[in-house]
Amino acid sequence: MAVIFESNIKIDPDGAWYIVLTDMVDNRTAICRDLDEYSQKVEDFGADYGGDIDEVKWSKDDNVPPQTMDEIRLEMSKHQEEIEKERSKGN
């Protein structure tokens, strides 16, 4: 069984972005308002599979503007750097 999560970027009525995370195995979902919350939910969902996630499929709604995507990419890059720093401290 492949463990696949879907991450869909959306815009709320106030113009703020959020990510709807869906576990495609059991169809549970979580609404994540920032990348810290998103990372935690991916970790929580993934724990049910021993941390073995085969794929994360990304999509966005048509109304998500390019500058929002740039903002999310930048935040994701910073978040990844922090994760890598923490991992290197543990070694």
| 15 alpha-carbon distance from chain centroid | 19
Instruction: Tell if the pTM clears 0.95, that is, is over it.
Output: no
| Structural domain that includes position 83 | 4-89
Pairwise pLDDT comparison (82 vs 59), residue with the higher score: 59
Helix (H) or strand (E) holding 37: helix 35-47
Residue in the block written with tokens 């959020």: 18
Say yes or no to pLDDT of 87 above 90: no
Instruction: Of 30, 27, 25, give the one whose Cα is nearest residue 3.
Output: 25
**How many domains, the chain?**
1
The values of phi and psi at residue 51, to 5°, are 80, 0
The pLDDT tens digits of the residues spanning 2-51 come to 899 999 999 999 999 999 999 999 999 999 999 999 999 999 999 999 98
Is residue 9 within 8 Å of residue 64, measured between CB atoms? yes
Residue in the block written with tokens 């750097």: 81
Instruction: Of 49, 30, 27, give the one whose Cα is nearest residue 38.
Output: 30
Band the pLDDT of 90: cuts 50, 70, 90: low
Residue in the block written with tokens 């890598």: 84
